[in-house]
Structure 1
Amino acid sequence: MVREGAPIRVFTIDDYDPIRQHVAKLVSEQPDMVWVGEAASVADAQVKLLATDADVILVDARLPDGSGIGLTEWIHQRWPERAILILTGSIDEEVVYQGVIKGANGFLFKQARGREILAAIRQLATGHVVFDPQLAPRLLTRLRTLAASEEAYRGRDSYRQRISQIYHGLADLATLSAIDDMFQKLVELARGVTDARYAAFAVLNPDESIAQFITAGLDREAARHLGSLPRGRGLLGEVIRTRRPLRVDDIRSHHASAGWPAGHPSMTSFLGVPLIFQNQVVGHLYVTDKYDPPFTEEDEELLGFLASLAAVLIHNARLSRDVEHLAIVEERQRIGMNLHDGTLQAIYAVLLGLDTVLEELPEGMEPIADTINQLAERLKETTEDIRRYILDLKSDQLPFPQAVDRLLRQLHLDTIAHVHTADTSYSELPGETLEHLLRILQESLSNIARHAQATRVDITWRRIGQDFQLVIEDDGIGFDPDIPSPPGHHGRQHLLERAERIRGQLLIHSRPHEGTCIELIAPFSRSLSRS
């Protein structure tokens, strides 16, 4: 691992001149790197490396006078602290597997772009493991063969047992469809592989604040007592800030330790690694309280492998969410356009026809004229309902605070409403959960506008551990919740049904002349079941 602030010293071993020249030019143009040499063969490399200090060594998998894998083993035996990146031109699981066994810290295809090579060098220099995504399945194939072999199970050491544990855990993870279930499985796997009492996995917002926090080792009640999400201070903040793995035998003795909030279990040993994708920190994975301390370099290496996988999962989850949101927006635009250009225009035509009929009615037909007028009024009300529905479709395309503001303006409550959304974790809610949340809010505010006679409305959003809470409170005339709703009034039932769909609990507190409070508590992630 490179000392902080020092340039990364890079050495390349490849028998193809253009590749060596290309990497040399790339490295020389970087302010945080320095080019220290090159070699075109195994023999040439062994001579030059004995006289050269290098932090990251790029090795061709196949060299004219020997194997790049064999050279990797020679380098690793003499300088285990030097990071080795193997460049390969083909997908061969045996090459990948042997490279890992002999000491390689990463693999890339030779056709990797310059920015990918530079990103890999920087990650290796800070202690990370780098694998081209296309090579990971090949490694898993080789691990599957190893795990299936009866001979491999006999007499293998702890490291191989843990590699097998990772393989079986990843095989289970591949059967899951919900990203939150994958995150939960990954953090449980990290805890088991490192023999730790606790583990946690954080997904970061673009500003590096924590958006999602998943734990293992804590029961649901203990997780609730943690209160709000961590703020990225203490050792967690140190991992994010330095972008390096961190191993600590005694948390309290470390200079970055910030202690624990009320309700947090006491912890001693700590191992944390950042999740980096395309040179951006997207999260962090950490384990605490190893049963047989301390955490080892082997633990760090295995946790780093899981962290690399977790970073890819986060990136793919965000891409999937963006695609899903775009599809929803496009479908709503289509529905709104069809309603406006089709249904509304048809109703307008009927209204014009009714006006024509009224003008042509002879005298003495007043009862029929009254009926026609009543029908016209109902059609006008229907057009207003459709217009509101179109606006509602547009509201769901807005961020949560703007959608709330639009609902308040539509219902003429904006002058008496106070919205409290300092906690911005609503931005990470799954699209379906957010839709139900807005519908619950709309139904509640509609009831206030029609019935409450309120002079103040307070809307509060907050996150509590793994759950979120939405509170809608007014100072209106209130009602008795024990009295059944009148026939044709299904508002309360709709609220309860929507809360149930997101596995939440909805509570209604009200008394005549004392206002009403509607409280929704639901799991932030749809995959978490409520007790």
Structure 2
Amino acid sequence: MGTEAELVANGAGVEANALSPSPQGEGLTFPVVARLELDELLTQLVERAQDVLATQGRLRGLLAASRAIATDLRLPVLLRQVVEAACELLGARYGALGVIAPDRTLEEFIHVGMDPKDVERIGHLPTGHGVLGLLIDDPRPRRLDDISREPSAYGFPPGHPPMRTFLGVPITVRGEVFGNLYLTEKRGGAAFTAEDEELALALAASAGVAIENARLFHEAQQRHRWMSASAEVTRQIMAEADGALGSVVQRLCTVADAQFVSVALREEDPGNVRVAAVAGVDTAGRIGQRIPLEGTLTGRVMAEQQPLRVQDARLDSLPEERGAETGSLIVLPLVAGADHVSGVLLVGRNRAERPFSDADLASAAGFAGNVAITLELARVKADRERLVVLADRGRIARDLHDHVIQRMFAVALGLQDVAQYERPANAERLNQYVDDLDVTIKDIRRSIFELRSSGEPKEQRRLHTEIDRIAEDVRPALGFTPTIRYSGPLETVVGDELAAHVIAVAREALTNAARHSQARSVELRLGVAGDAVVVDVIDDGVGIGSADRRSGLANLRSRAEQLGGSFSLTTPAGGGTHLHWAAPL
């Protein structure tokens, strides 16, 4: 054994030999094994660095995609941005987002990447069968290397571009599946990877949050629209503007995105409601139509006092309750109190449009409740104003009767008394004044009756209105306006059926006088005498005349006999014709 110094020297020599240049003059060398290990480590380091860069790039892409889908709160725009961002992030040529309907089909299908000509050739969009239906039935991510080899595949319709690779992930909103994101044909022909799936799930989670925000924004906008519409129709109804109900249905047509809106109100017939206003398409001739309550959606809603929504109105409703193309229909009761339903609102969308949702039903029901209360308030306001007017008219009528008529009657008596002591010429003039005062007193009494009845609703003043209209109609044929005199409480004691007969008699009598009498004056007297209504038409014309004229009066005699009344046609001493018609009350 050598000394320690020798060992050190020997070791140094070995190390020097290992690091010394080779005989051929080459540089430093390493053992072959060590060199291979170093190359492998460098290669792995480069690959890891490339993976880190790729991952960082994808993360930046995911962040950019998340920012892109959060830039717009309009739901249709947002859904398209989600699909475009997914295609960009994952390198897919085609992308789509299917929104799931309550019946587990796709109610909306937003797609990108396809040529418009291809879309036109394909025609109808997918509804959620085949591969697309896998995620609807089982909402878990799906990756396929070749769609055509999937057992559940239906195949592509004619004109559809070829697709092989597939990635699908669900989009959830508040724990419920809103829809599915579909990606096909990754660029380069490669299959989608597990990393692609993770990125798609992350993007779907961001999309779910954005969709929920868009939904909340949309609901807030809709609530604002409904509140604005309610306030507007309230002002119109309370202001008693002309066509207030027409404005209600027009406004509802706009705010509900509907193509048919109708309002039907109760009438005297308890078995029907009558269409009072309508808006949208297919509205001609609908106003005034009656909708029976027995066995109809309208009757059901009014009985239950609960709004109703149907998906296909053709199966459940009458033609009077919907438009020709109506699919989804909402029927809303106008409930103004616990036991008072004044009518219904019918709101329809065409079959090609999006059906009404539960949110639409709730908003429309609130609108209908506001309309019902406003209509009731307007009715109460009108009744109160009518009572005020009636009170004023009653006071005026009493003053006319108790003061004016009595004074005029006293003046007439005084003139008659003075006439006894005057010369015959003056007496005749005074008696003429007395006759004029008598006519004036009768006119005032007629005005008193009109004052007492004019505060009633128009439909209750039908008799006076119709007789005055007939007088105006025959004026051109007569050459003057016939005198009309009323007496007694006609509007109070004459019912609708008897009023219809009286109106027909007055029209026939005045029309005959205009055609045949050649009169210079015609007077119609309509009043209540005892327990009968009496119509007298007196003219100063040529008299009864030939049988041709008599034949036109046969209907008047028949009406009187039908009601148990009387009819006569005579010639007064001074000439002309006196038609008398009476019927019991």
TM range (shorter): 0.3 to 0.5
Higher alpha-carbon Rg = 2
Q: TM-score, normalised by structure 2?
A: 0.42
From the two aligned structures, give the one with the greater helix fraction: 2
Q: TM-score, normalised by structure 1?
A: 0.46
